[in-house]
Amino acid sequence: MKYVGNGFSSAMLSEFDVIIVQKEISYERFCAESYTAKSVIGHEDLAKLLNLEYNPGVITVNPDDIYIEIVSKGGKLPKTIKSWKDIPDWIELKFICKKIIKN
């Protein structure tokens, strides 16, 4: 399964004997990958900005799953963002692709 979300925690893992390999991906690759991913974004305005479903909740991530995390580098995103121009200059969105591998 492939997920896209705005937060990742070890508590999401179905088991802890795993290796997580992660790599930053471009916005263009994120867009391509997100078409086939389940959105678990818990920030409503971020979901709208990225044209993805707002879908907060608890998930379980298993070995062989992929989780693409949207990271707000530089601070927390305001809850009122409506477009890319609303993101403060000091905040940068990063897209981190995490592959869960059984150890």
pLDDT digits (tens, 9 = 90+) for 32-60: 999 999 999 999 889 999 999 999 989 99
Residue 21: the pLDDT is 98
- pTM for the structure as a whole: 0.91
Torsion of CA 22, 18, 4, 89, to 10 degrees: -40
Domains of the chain: 2-102 (3.40.50.11170)
Residues in Cβ contact with 11 at an 8 Å cutoff, skipping those fewer than 6 apart: none
Paired strand residues for 61: 13
